[in-house]
Amino acid sequence: MGINKPDDYAARLKKARRKRNGKDPFKYFLIAAGCVIVILLIVLAGKIAKGGRIELGTRRSADSSNIEGVFESAGTDETEAAALEGELMEEDEEQKKIDEQKASVVESYENLGIVQVTGYLNMRESPDQNADIIGKLLDGSACEILDDSTEGWYQVTSGGLTGYISSEYVLTGEEAKTAAFDLVDEMAVITADKLNVRSEPNQDAQVLEQVLRNERYTIEEEQDGWIKIPAGYISSEYVQQRYALNEARKLDLRTMVLNMYDNIGISNVNNYLNIRQEPKEDGKIIGKMTSKSAGEILETTEDGKWYKIKSGPVTGYVSSEYILTGQAAKDEALQEAKLMAIVSTDRLNARTEPTTDAPHLDPDFQQ
């Protein structure tokens, strides 16, 4: 059995005292190491839980690059966001200007009326259903109400016309202003007395119809000095472009002719249609309707085979089989209507020259 040296004994005794007093340095080392391991395990567990991978070596440098990329991307996003915000502010400012112009148009009417109809509303010379029609207001058209003292009628001015319209189809007051704001649009306002509407944007294109001074039309597109409206192309030289409400339009000649009939009938034959004194095939012939000529249908026989019609000075019966009615008649009338001379005497000579001494055109005529 060995004998412990006094120095070894002293060293062991000193170590035992440190343990007893809780000052063992190795113990502290173990505790610190354990804490570090626990922290590492927590970090690694969190990364694994998020789907990450554990890589050593050069990965640290890559992660550093990624972090820099994130900051650069964030900077780019902020720049793009600032640019987008600027664009939105410009758009908001532009819309604000448009809204101000629309509000100005609505406020320009002292007593605004907005027409609400399917199709259009007639403007008449006087407050009577049988009065002459002088214009029409399409659905959504505006007018200035001048007088509302006549029951069922408003005296209005619109599109350069002054007349009467049925009050039944007109919004007024705040209701009219609210509706009007959404109806204001950039329009072509005609500044010429008459302006041709053409099929193509050039001077040689076919003339489809004419538009008149103060009439307003929605602008569909613009190109090389021409404006496209729903009916075709018009020269921008005779147009004022501005925000406006639609207003009344004068009746063109064709429409005025159509309004002369309450129940129009058009002969749908190639040569002529006999007008008979009685509604039967062997009835006495008292007149003829040439191809595409018009008449006022007065009544229909019980069997529906005959119309009593007034065409010119003649009133009699025609076969309903050869008469267009309703919308078909109106469409045909608008196509066929033309400026014509109407003879207002029993007999009138037609001559070869514009003098009373010129020969008569009828070779069988005897002076």
Give the tens place of pLDDT for each residue, 295-313: 999 999 999 999 999 998 8
Distance CA 355, CA 350 (A): 10
Determine contact, residues 231/208, Cβ cutoff 8 Å: yes
Bridge-based pairing of strands 185-190 and 170-172 is unpaired
Domain residue limits, the chain = 112-183, 185-251, 254-336
pTM score of the predicted model: 0.51
**pLDDT on residue 188:** 94
Q: How far apart are CA 21 and CA 334, in angstroms?
A: 120
- Quote the pLDDT of residue 320: 95
Q: Which pLDDT does position 1 carry in this prediction?
A: 43
d(CA 97, CA 53): 57
Residues of the chain with pLDDT under 50: 1-6, 9, 20, 56-60, 62, 70, 339, 363-367
CB-CB neighbours of 141 under 10 Å: 26
Instruction: Read off the amino acid at residue 285.
Output: I
Q: φ and ψ at 217, to 5 degrees?
A: -135, 140
Separation CA 77–CA 6 (nearest Å): 77
On whether the CB atoms of residues 298 and 315 are closer than 8 A, the answer is: yes
Question: Nearest 5°: phi and psi at 9?
Answer: -65, -45
CATH of 254-336, one of 2.60.40.10, 3.40.50.300, 2.30.30.40, 1.10.540.10: 2.30.30.40
Task: Give the closest residue to 319 by CA, choosing from 305, 330, 309.
Answer: 305
CA distance 98 to 106: 13
Fold equal for 112-183 and 254-336: yes
Do residues 124 and 134 make contact, with C-beta atoms less than 8 angstroms apart?
Answer: yes
What whole-number distance in Å separates Cα of residue 266 and Cα of residue 294?
5
* pLDDT for residue 83: 72
Which two tokens mark 258? 């159509």
- The CATH T-level fold of domain 185-251 is SH3 type barrels. (2.30.30)
What percent of the residues of the chain are helix, what percent strand, and what percent coil, each to the nearest 5? Answer: 35, 30, 35
| Token pair of 236 as six digits | 């921008």
Confirm if 226 and 220 have CB atoms less than 8 A apart: no
Among 150, 121, 142, residue whose Cα is nearest residue 184: 142
- For tokens 């075709």, what's the residue? 232
* Residue 67, token pair as written in the block: 């972090």
Inter-residue contact 145 to 169 (CB < 8 Å): no
Which pLDDT score is estimated for 5? 45
Closest CA to 161 of 248, 98, 225: 248
Helix intervals (H) in the chain: 6-20, 25-49, 59-107, 173-183, 253-258, 326-336
What pLDDT score was predicted for residue 340? 54
pLDDT the model gives residue 194: 86
Residues 177-203 pLDDT 10s:
999 999 999 999 999 988 989 999 999
**CATH match of 112-183 with 2.30.30.40:** yes
